[in-house]
Amino acid sequence: MSDILQTIVEKRRADIERLGLNFGIEIPEKRRVGHTEFLGNAGAILEVKRASPSKGDIAPDLDPVALATTYAEAHAQAVSVLTEENFFKGSLRDLIAVADLMECRRQQGLHACAVLRKDFLLYEDEIDIAYRCGADAVLLIARILDDEQLVHMAKRAQSFDMQAFVEVREKDDFRKLSVVTSALGADAAKTIVAGVNSRDLATFRTDPLIPASVRSKLPAKAVFESGVHTPADADYARSLGFTGILVGEAVAKNPALAKDVVSAFESGRENARGKFWRKFAERKQQKQALVQEHLVCHCEERSDEAISTQKTIRSLVKICGITRVEDGMLAAELGADMLGFVFSNTKRLTTEEFVRSFKERLLRSARNDKSETPILVGVITDPNSEEGKPAIKLVREGVLDAVQFHGIEPSAADTGLAHYCAARIGSPEDFQTVADLRTHGEPRILLDAKVEGIPGGTGKTIPESLLLEKAGDIPLWLAGGITPENVAAICEKFYPELIDVSSGVEDAPGIKNSEKLQKLFAEININQ
């Protein structure tokens, strides 16, 4: 724990010491409402939330009953009620009021949501209080509870036929999830719902790839928490295979959005797009873990802070414009994370037949370790062109892992296709395209240097002033003018998550230079 999360927990302990576990609020002596299973069906969990540490006031004057009514009418599966007072301005009174509302709706034969108590719970007796106040589930944050606390609190929830919504994010959290699952035995599937927060509770920064990177480690019922602002974000979360989403700020500020968010998630499905992002995110996580392990083993005298800083600068590498087998194989051998094949009318244009034969060669060379082979991407500038259609075909067949929509937006018909987008950047106004793509649920956007009349592979770099001024804190994917000579400086200055290199390692368009490739990877490895 550190920073904001630690402050929240410390203040909460002090309040409990002063006011008791009920925080001085009169609560029912016994439960007076019925029960609805938390996340009995796939769907959205919408939040009654007045404020947050990162945003300050969100909806300070909200009426919890009116807001929860809107959520129920939008057919949310559950309502999450913040009861933390200092930073979120919540209260147990809100929980009681929302639970009473849902009981009233049940009695009237109307759709009633399950009720989640969302707080930084620390003690077993807080489960009893949540139950008496009408909660159907309780949030248990693995990071702030030790093994024994987590097991006892989950078992107490189980004794009340409540679900334990266990939030995990860091490596040790997953170990704790395994511990509590084992302790509950056969009943774990009914009692435990796991959630992964795209927001780091220490810094309150969000990253939609964090849930993607750990979905395979979670049980069948799993929730994507935070970072959902639009229906497109909800669709993205569903594409990853999550059973639920937890949405706070967006719907608390704009309740009219609730219906569209709920509908987008429920109408979505796990698909190839989500599988691609899971594959990329898992690869990134594995690479970063190897870098951290290397630093811990070889830099024993360095501080934890130095190691933490260093481990974030290992950029993943995409080598684009592959037209020769030997170039692609060398790049893979050197550690390329992605290989790009251009399906656009340029000098780097490739063919369907070449990609198929290269994929077969790559898999043969990998033998039993196919998970280590690079992600293969088809780059297109027009999905309806004769050059672009084969790339989409190869993605649908699974020969390629994804399409890179370069300088174009995917159409509604393409949203389930494994893909990411590249935006061409030459002026401040071009960052509006990036913002629009993020609003449409794109978790990452490749930024390429814009040169009029040339779609890519120009050898030009994006002006540093633009990146420093406009890129903000989004994880950067950078292309354009990256060479063995400047890659170390770029990584040190911008900490890109991914660098995309094409002309910088070529003798001619599509003809890679083996010495330049080796030097590029040597520079990147030194920069670890």
> How would residue 99 be classed by pLDDT, with cut points 50, 70 and 90?
very high
Mean pLDDT of 173-202: 93
**In terms of domains, do 231 and 357 share one?**
no
pLDDT of 303 over the 90 cut: no
Number of domains into which the chain is organized: 2
**In terms of domains, do 15 and 90 share one?**
yes
pLDDT of amino acid 238? 97
Would residue 437 count as lying in a domain? yes
Which of these, 51, 35, 225, lies nearest to 139 by C-alpha position?
225
Would residue 98 count as lying in a domain? yes
Would residue 283 count as lying in a domain? no
What's the CA gap between 314 and 288, in Å, rounded?
Answer: 7
Which of 243, 270, 297 is the endpoint of a domain?
Answer: 270
**In terms of domains, do 220 and 335 share one?**
no
Range of the domain at 473: 314-526
451 or 104, which is more confident?
104
Would residue 300 count as lying in a domain? no
pLDDT of 110 over the 70 cut: yes
pLDDT of amino acid 525? 80
Which of 253, 270, 287 is the endpoint of a domain?
Answer: 270
pLDDT of 474 over the 90 cut: no
Length of the chain in residues, anyone? 528
Mean pLDDT of 423-438: 92
Query: Do 334 and 521 form a contact (C-beta atoms < 8 A)?
Result: yes
Tokens of 75: 């057919």
**Per-residue pLDDT reduced to its tens digit, 199-222:** 887 777 899 999 999 999 999 999
CA 67 to chain centre: 27
Q: Which of 127-141, 190-204, 208-222, 446-460 has the lowest mean pLDDT?
A: 446-460
Write the CATH number for 419.
3.20.20.70
> How would residue 295 be classed by pLDDT, with cut points 50, 70 and 90?
low
**In terms of domains, do 58 and 188 share one?**
yes
Tokens of 169: 């994010």
Percent of the chain with pLDDT over 90: 81
Upper half-sphere CA count for residue 87 (Cβ side, 13 Å): 18
Q: Which of 119-123, 392-396, 452-456, 512-516 has the lowest mean pLDDT?
A: 452-456
pLDDT of amino acid 307? 42
Tokens of 69: 């009514």
C-alpha dist (Å) from residue 121 to 29, 150, 507: 20, 10, 61
The phi, psi pair for 225, rounded to 5°, reads -105, 140
Tokens of 465: 């002033």
pLDDT of 66 over the 70 cut: yes
Q: Which of 40-44, 289-293, 498-502 has the lowest mean pLDDT?
A: 289-293
The phi, psi pair for 441, rounded to 5°, reads 85, 15
pLDDT of amino acid 136? 98
Percent of the chain with pLDDT over 70: 92
CA 61 to chain centre: 30
β-pairing verdict for 506-508 and 511-512: antiparallel
What's the CA gap between 276 and 134, in Å, rounded?
Answer: 40
**In terms of domains, do 86 and 198 share one?**
yes
Mean of all residue pLDDT scores within the chain: 91
Query: Do 403 and 341 form a contact (C-beta atoms < 8 A)?
Result: no
pLDDT of amino acid 309? 42
> How would residue 291 be classed by pLDDT, with cut points 50, 70 and 90?
low
Mean pLDDT of 233-243: 97
3-class secondary structure, 407: coil
> How would residue 411 be classed by pLDDT, with cut points 50, 70 and 90?
confident
**In terms of domains, do 414 and 319 share one?**
yes
Tokens of 52: 């947050």
Helices and strands: H and E segment counts in the chain: 20, 20
Burial of 279 (0-12, 13-18, 19+ CB in 10 A): middle
**In terms of domains, do 234 and 342 share one?**
no
Would residue 286 count as lying in a domain? no
> How would residue 311 be classed by pLDDT, with cut points 50, 70 and 90?
very low
C-alpha dist (Å) from residue 478 to 159, 295, 430: 52, 25, 15
What's the CA gap between 333 and 329, in Å, rounded?
Answer: 6
pLDDT of amino acid 469? 82
What's the CA gap between 46 and 279, in Å, rounded?
Answer: 28
Residue with tokens 């009219």: 256
What's the CA gap between 483 and 503, in Å, rounded?
Answer: 8
**In terms of domains, do 356 and 442 share one?**
yes
3-class secondary structure, 435: helix
Largest CA distance in the chain: 79
pLDDT of amino acid 457? 60
Q: Which of 299-303, 367-371, 417-421 has the lowest mean pLDDT?
A: 299-303
**In terms of domains, do 92 and 147 share one?**
yes
What's the CA gap between 28 and 12, in Å, rounded?
Answer: 22
Mean pLDDT of 289-301: 58
pLDDT of amino acid 306? 42
CA 64 to chain centre: 28
**Per-residue pLDDT reduced to its tens digit, 26-52:** 999 999 999 999 999 999 999 999 999
Would residue 309 count as lying in a domain? no
E strand or H helix that includes residue 334 = helix 325-334
pLDDT of amino acid 468? 84
> How would residue 11 be classed by pLDDT, with cut points 50, 70 and 90?
very high
Would residue 307 count as lying in a domain? no
**In terms of domains, do 260 and 331 share one?**
no
Which of 206, 237, 270 is the endpoint of a domain?
Answer: 270
Would residue 36 count as lying in a domain? yes
pLDDT of amino acid 419? 96
**In terms of domains, do 222 and 321 share one?**
no
**In terms of domains, do 231 and 352 share one?**
no
pLDDT of amino acid 239? 97
What's the CA gap between 60 and 291, in Å, rounded?
Answer: 44
Tokens of 49: 């939330």
